[in-house]
Amino acid sequence: MAYSRTEHYDEQATSSLMKSYHEVLAALGEDPDREGLLKTPERVAKAMQYLTQGYHLDANAIINSAKFHEDVSEMIIVKDIELFSMCEHHMLPFFGKAHIAYIPNGWITGLSKIARVVDVFSRRLQVQERLTTQILGAIKESLNPLGVAVVIEAKHLCMMMRGVQKQNSVTTTSAFDGEFLKNATRSEFLKLISAKLD
- 105-122 burial code (b ≥16 CB/10 A, e <16): eebbbeeebbbbbbbbbb
CATH number at 181 reads 3.30.1130.10
Percentage of the chain modeled with pLDDT above 70: 95
Q: Is 141 a catalytic residue?
A: no
* 95 and 38, same domain (yes or no): no
Q: From the candidates 49, 99, 126, 156, which is the catalytic residue?
A: 156
Q: From the candidates 23, 56, 70, 89, which is the catalytic residue?
A: 89
Average pLDDT over residues 31-48: 97
* 150 and 79, same domain (yes or no): yes
The C-alpha atoms of residue 181 and residue 1 are separated, in whole angstroms, by 60
Identify the helix (H) or strand (E) that includes residue 83.
Answer: strand 76-87
pLDDT digits (tens, 9 = 90+) for 14-36: 999 999 999 999 999 999 999 99
Q: From the candidates 22, 49, 87, 179, which is the catalytic residue?
A: 87
Q: From the candidates 30, 70, 82, 88, which is the catalytic residue?
A: 88
Average pLDDT over residues 104-112: 97
pLDDT of residue 164: 85
Q: Is 128 a catalytic residue?
A: yes
The whole domain housing 175 covers 58-194
Tell me if the pTM is above 0.85. Answer: yes
Q: From the candidates 42, 53, 90, 153, which is the catalytic residue?
A: 90
* 65 and 155, same domain (yes or no): yes
Is 127:88 a contact under the CB 8 Å cutoff? Answer: yes
Helix, strand, or coil here: 152?
A: strand
Position 56, amino acid: H
pLDDT of residue 3: 47
Does 4 map to a domain? no
Whole-number mean pLDDT of the chain?
A: 95
* 17 and 112, same domain (yes or no): no
Q: 96 forms bridges with which residues in the sheet?
A: 83, 154
Q: Which of 8-12, 67-71, 124-128 comes out lowest in average pLDDT?
A: 8-12
Residue 4 has pLDDT above 60, yes or no: no
Nearest partner of 25 among 7, 11, 38, judged by Cα: 38
The C-alpha atoms of residue 195 and residue 115 are separated, in whole angstroms, by 20
Q: Is 87 a catalytic residue?
A: yes
Q: From the candidates 22, 49, 126, 128, which is the catalytic residue?
A: 128
The C-alpha atoms of residue 8 and residue 46 are separated, in whole angstroms, by 9
The C-alpha atoms of residue 89 and residue 87 are separated, in whole angstroms, by 5
Q: Is 88 a catalytic residue?
A: yes
pLDDT digits (tens, 9 = 90+) for 77-97: 999 999 999 999 999 999 999
Q: 177 pLDDT band (50/70/90 cuts)? A: very high
* 84 and 42, same domain (yes or no): no
* 85 and 28, same domain (yes or no): no
The C-alpha atoms of residue 139 and residue 59 are separated, in whole angstroms, by 8
pLDDT of residue 189: 98
Domain count, the chain: 2
Residue 198 has pLDDT above 70, yes or no: no
Does 6 map to a domain? no
C-alpha radius of gyration, the chain, whole number: 20
The C-alpha atoms of residue 114 and residue 135 are separated, in whole angstroms, by 9
Is 54:122 a contact under the CB 8 Å cutoff? Answer: yes
